[in-house]
Amino acid sequence: MSSIKDVAREAGVSTATVSHVVNNTRFVSDEVRSRVERAIEACRYYPNAHARSLASGNSRILGLVISDIANPFFPELVKAVETAAFERGYDVVLSNTNYDADRASHYVRRFIERKVAGVALLTSELDKKLIEELARREVPVVFLDVGEAGLHMSNLRVDYETGIEEAILHLVSLGHREISFIGGPPHLRSARRRLEAFRSAKQRLFPDAADGVYFGDFKIEGGRRAASEILAGGKLPTAVMAANDLMALGAISEFRAAGVQVPRDVSVVGFDDIAFAALSEPALTTVNLPLGELGKHAVEALMETLSNPDQQGIEITIPTHFIVRASTAPARLSPDGTKHARKAVRVKS
Amino acid sequence: MSSIKDVAREAGVSTATVSHVVNNTRFVSDEVRSRVERAIEACRYYPNAHARSLASGNSRILGLVISDIANPFFPELVKAVETAAFERGYDVVLSNTNYDADRASHYVRRFIERKVAGVALLTSELDKKLIEELARREVPVVFLDVGEAGLHMSNLRVDYETGIEEAILHLVSLGHREISFIGGPPHLRSARRRLEAFRSAKQRLFPDAADGVYFGDFKIEGGRRAASEILAGGKLPTAVMAANDLMALGAISEFRAAGVQVPRDVSVVGFDDIAFAALSEPALTTVNLPLGELGKHAVEALMETLSNPDQQGIEITIPTHFIVRASTAPARLSPDGTKHARKAVRVKS
DNA sequence: AGGTTTTATTGAATCGTTAAAAATCTAACA
DNA sequence: TGTTAGATTTTTAACGATTCAATAAAACCT
């Protein structure tokens, strides 16, 4: 199609002038400007983004790396990032790693080749080499829950502690003493952070309680499996907290299938507050993680680094807060949770 | 950072040779090749994608336009597209229109500037001008449910008819005669297609039945509102089909809130078979639209056009099939659905 | 041996833009 | 009127690849 040269010829000016009209980068007299604008129309001129990026050295592309778009945790995050980027004239290249670090690396390499303006690494599976590579190339980066922010590298720090502590205090106030936890895959950083927050809150309240930690995969199926392990364990806890809503929902469905009613027999608490948490039956009591905020801040952090290069990245804390819905209720009376005892409770209620 | 020239110098060859090594585009002797590879390592050379695109004229970027990533219909679609694209070495630029045609246009313009290899327009809100522009620029495009495929333009045609007809036959076999429909926003093509499929199936079976069509927004809230209109209407139908699962779920929640039990008092059928359909309570009877297939075919169609340019696009039909779960049951006995009659039924059951 | 083919590599133009430096034009001032 | 400063616009050289035509070297024929 037609290039800037065609427009320049059509308007009888140099390509530089056309460029300045298009980008508003220098004053151009009204007369020339309108001539150029007419020529642009006539030629149906669309600037070539690649030529532009090559010449200018930057790309107005943001790379977004997430683990699994099919996990309802992410779409809202993606949406927020996309919206914030669009407002600033950036395009978002999406990369879905399926929790696979190799795939993340592969994608980041592509991002570097594309000279992306910044990368939002909103996943847990990243290897050190990747981060080093990004650091070496001086690509602005924003992480989720990585320990340290660095040069060009910002960090979004989710305050898991507050929300999880609120959740546990709520359970305690309902009389719960035996609280199990369904964690995510331990190799994921976010899973570890959530688990730690749970353990430290629980330890503070019940220094001698059993650990009661099971592991899932952050998906529904993993919640089901963990719930059936819990059921098989014999002693049913009075409450179960899951590291994310998906697993909480899976656990509820497994409990129900086994004839254990939520919240009558067991209370269940989730984490994330995905859209369906409010809609499930019973509506899920959970900890809200403001994903929209998170996505917005991710883009803002990148923009910050872009406008102040050679500067330390920023650290943003994302708050969480507890939301009571219908999946939690006072603890059943029986002190232990054997199947027999549970049945007895059911009769009483 | 280092460019192809640096590598060429380091290896003692021309840039052309380096390019051929990198892209495997001509035979290069083993000795030279390994020298070049060593130089690439030494320089930490990453090819510049913009320079490459500029010189070669194509970009290995696919533009993906969807309406709303927060609608669970889309993530799975996005995932399938992203996976298929990744396998072929393409990156996906995501564009979320929020059902806004202007924003879609804006994005498509950017795509043209980026010389994307192809665009998957998996939305309903497109204006004619946009499509013309894409046609003029000879960008390969794949649509969802647009009438005609054209030059460079393929089309994914969802076979709404089969799934919806199966659903209605199922309801009829359960004794339902009064079946209402909650449609999507009528300005969206996909909403119209679904509604038409419903109407034609219903007309065939009950030529004289009342239309019984309500409209929602394809979101949960719209389903709630439609359900409350249905309740307010006085005559409660024995079954309600919604144009998507989200509205079906919204309707169920509204019915429940009003003391109307699903499926005992009303059967509800959804459409799409999103992940949560199976998990809701009651599990949603719905029509499965294979989103993974759809996404895969979208990319395949684009690849097809890319390898056979100046050729008519292809037309792919995506099947749908009905899935019975727990939100449908035999029609209640009462021939009409006044509140009084409904209560009577409740006593009987 | 001389000519023709084949094989491997290089040189240089090109893609469409930006941006720094150079050129031109205008108006103002002494 | 000549000089100068300021305002606009043009020239020209990158940016970093790809790619085609050209070349050099080796291989094959007769």
Among the listed ranges B82-86, B115-119, B182-186, B274-278, which one has the minimum average pLDDT value? B274-278
Secondary element (H or E) of residue A219 = none
Rounded CA-CA distance B14/A66 in Å is: 39
Place of tokens 């498509």: B108
Q: Is the pLDDT of residue A234 over 70?
A: yes
Dihedral of CA A252/A256/A259/A263: which sign? Answer: positive
The mean per-residue pLDDT over the stretch B48-73 comes to: 94
Q: Write down the pLDDT at residue B339.
A: 40
Other residues' Cβ atoms within 10 Å of the Cβ of residue A102: 10
Instruction: Answer for the pair B215, B242: CB distance below 8 angstroms, yes or no.
Output: no
**pLDDT, tens digit, for every residue of A87-131?**
999 999 999 999 888 999 999 999 999 999 999 999 988 888 888
Inform me whether the pLDDT recorded for A256 exceeds 80.
Answer: yes
B148: confidence class by pLDDT, cuts 50, 70, 90: confident
pLDDT per residue over B3-33, tens digit each?
999 999 999 999 999 999 999 999 999 999 9
Q: Residue B169: name the closest of B210, B198, B191, B140 by CA.
A: B198
- Amino acid type, B215: F
- Nearest nucleotide to the CA of A48, by C1', is C16
Give residue B277's pLDDT: 93
Q: Binning pLDDT at 50, 70 and 90, where does residue A337 land? A: very low
Rounded-to-integer distance, Cα A108 and Cα B108, Å:
25
Distance CA A274, CA A289 (A): 9
* Helix pair B4-11, B30-43: axis angle to 10 deg: 130
Closest nucleotide over all strands to A52 (CA to C1'): C17
Inform me whether the pLDDT recorded for A59 exceeds 70: yes
In 3D, which of A12, A16, A40 has the Cα closest to residue A26? A16
Instruction: Report residue A334's pLDDT band, with 50, 70 and 90 as the boundaries.
Output: low
Question: Which residues bind near strand C, taking a CB cut-off of 7 Å?
Answer: A 1, 3-5, 15-16, 19, 22-23, 25, 45-48, 51-52, 54-56; B 12-17, 20, 26-29, 31-32, 51, 54-55, 57
Chain A residue numbers touching B94 (CB-CB < 8 A): 78, 82, 92-94
CB contact under 8 A, A69 and B83: no
Rounded CA–C1' distance between A18 and C29, in angstroms: 34
**CB neighbours (10 Å) of residue A166?**
17
Distance, C-alpha B123 to centroid of its chain:
7
Question: Tokens 């300005």 correspond to what residue?
Answer: B187
Rg (CA), chain A: 26
Q: What is the mean pLDDT of chain B?
A: 91
Give yes or no for a contact between A141 and A118, defined as CB atoms under 8 angstroms apart.
yes
> Which of A67, A94, A108 is the best residue to mutate to test the B interface, defined by the most B CB atoms within 10 Å of its own CB?
A94
Length of chain B measured in residues: 349
Q: Do residues A277 and A326 make contact, with C-beta atoms less than 8 angstroms apart?
A: no
Say whether pLDDT at B346 is over 70.
no
Lowest model confidence (mean pLDDT) among A161-175, B135-149, B183-197: B135-149
Per-residue confidence band for B334, with pLDDT thresholds at 50, 70 and 90: low
Provide the β-strand partners of residue B269.
Answer: B241, B285
CB atoms within 10 A of CB B338: 12
Contact B82 A94 (CB under 8 A): yes
Return the amino acid letter for A65: V
Query: B287 with B158: CB under 8 angstroms?
Result: no
CA angle A197, A202, A207 (to 5 degrees): 130
Tokens representing residue B210 in the block: 């009342």
Place of tokens 């001539």: A35
Cβ-defined contact of B49 to A76 (cutoff 8 Å): no
Average of per-residue pLDDT values in chain A: 91
Q: Which nucleotides of D are covered by protein (CB under 7 A)?
A: 7-12, 14-21
Residue B101, C-beta contacts closer than 8 angstroms, at least 6 positions apart = B125, B126, B127, B130
Cβ-based burial of A223 (10 A; exposed 0-12, middle 13-18, buried ≥19) = buried
Question: Token pair 């919240």 is at which residue?
Answer: A263
Average confidence (pLDDT) over A273-281: 90
CA of A18 to C1' of C19 (A): 13
Indicate the pairing of strand B61-66 with strand A315-318: unpaired
- What is the spatial distance, in angstroms and rounded to an integer, between the CA atom of B27 and the C1' atom of C5? 18
Residue A345 burial (10 A CB sphere; 0-12, 13-18, 19+): middle
Asked if A45 and A2 count as a contact pair (C-beta separation under 8 A), the reply is yes
- Assess whether pLDDT exceeds 80 at residue B343: no
Contact B136 A103 (CB under 8 A): no
3-state DSSP helix/strand/coil % of chain A, to nearest 5? 45, 15, 35
* pLDDT (mean) for A193-199: 96
State the Cα–Cα distance between residues A95 and A69, nearest whole angstrom. Answer: 9
- The shortest C-alpha distance from B53 to chain A (Å) reads 7
Tell me the percentage of chain B whose pLDDT exceeds 70.
95
**Mean of pLDDT values over A137-155:** 89
Closest C-alpha among A124, A278, A234, A259 to residue A187: A124
Taking the C-alpha atoms of residue A334 and residue A338, their distance in angstroms, rounded to an integer, is: 9
Q: Which residues pair with B195 in a beta bridge?
A: none
Q: What is the pLDDT of residue A76?
A: 92
The span from the CA of B230 to the CA of A327, in Å, is 29
User: In whole angstroms, what is the distance from residue A148 CA to residue A159 CA?
Assistant: 15
pLDDT digits (tens, 9 = 90+) for B157-213: 999 999 999 999 999 999 999 999 999 999 988 999 999 999 999 999 999 888 899
Kindly state the tokens that stand for B103: 């924003």
Fill in the amino acid letter for B127.
D
**Rounded-to-integer distance, Cα A137 and Cα B295, Å:** 34
pLDDT reported for residue A338: 43
Q: Per this entry, what is the length of chain A? A: 349
Residue environment code for A186-198, b if the CB has 16+ CB neighbours within 10 A, otherwise e: eebbbbbbbbebb
How many other CB atoms are found less than 10 A from the CB of residue A74?
A: 25
Q: What is the CA radius of gyration of chain B?
A: 26
Nearest residue by alpha-carbon distance to C1' of D11: A14
List, in sequence order, every residue forming a beta bridge with A242; answer none if it has no partner. Answer: A182
Which chain B residues are closer than 8 Å to A82 by Cβ? Answer: 69, 94-96
| Partner residues linked to B93 by β-bridges | A93, B63
Using DSSP's 3-state secondary structure scheme, residue A242 falls into strand
pTM assigned to the model: 0.90
Residue with tokens 């894409």: B134
Comparing CB atoms, the residue among A92, A94, A114 nearest residue B49 is A114
Count of CB atoms situated within 10 Å of the CB of A155: 20
At A94, the amino acid letter reads L
Hey, what long-range contacts does A38-44 have (CB within 8 A, 24 or more apart)?
Answer: A38/A11, A39/A7, A39/A8, A39/A10, A39/A11, A40/A7, A42/A10, A43/A2, A43/A6, A43/A7, A43/A10, A44/A1, A44/A2, A44/B136
Residue of A nearest to B61 (CA): A93
Please name the residue ranges forming H helices in chain B. 4-11, 15-23, 30-43, 49-56, 73-87, 101-113, 128-136, 160-173, 189-205, 220-232, 245-257, 291-307, 339-348
